[in-house]
Amino acid sequence: GLVSFCENHSLARSEIYKVLNGIRKHHRGWKIERQNNV
């Protein structure tokens, strides 16, 4: 899941959650690509 992804890519989980929640645009070059399938 997300935890292992962060560990494998040396990412800070707290920063990735900020990206997921729209607080930040990216973390270390990783971005969230949103699908507008509602």
Q: SS3 of 27, please?
A: strand
Q: Which two structure tokens, joined as six digits, stand for 7?
A: 């560990």
Q: What is the torsion angle, in degrees rounded to the nearest 10, for the CA atoms of residue 29, residue 26, residue 8 and residue 37?
A: -120
1-38 pLDDT, tens digit per residue, is: 999 999 999 999 999 999 999 999 999 999 988 887 66
What pLDDT does residue 5 have? 94
What pLDDT does residue 36 have? 79
Residue 22: Cβ-neighbour burial (10 angstroms; 0-12, 13-18, 19+): exposed
How many structural domains does the chain have? 1
- The domain in which residue 31 lies consists of 1-38
In the chain, how many H helices and how many E strands? 2, 0
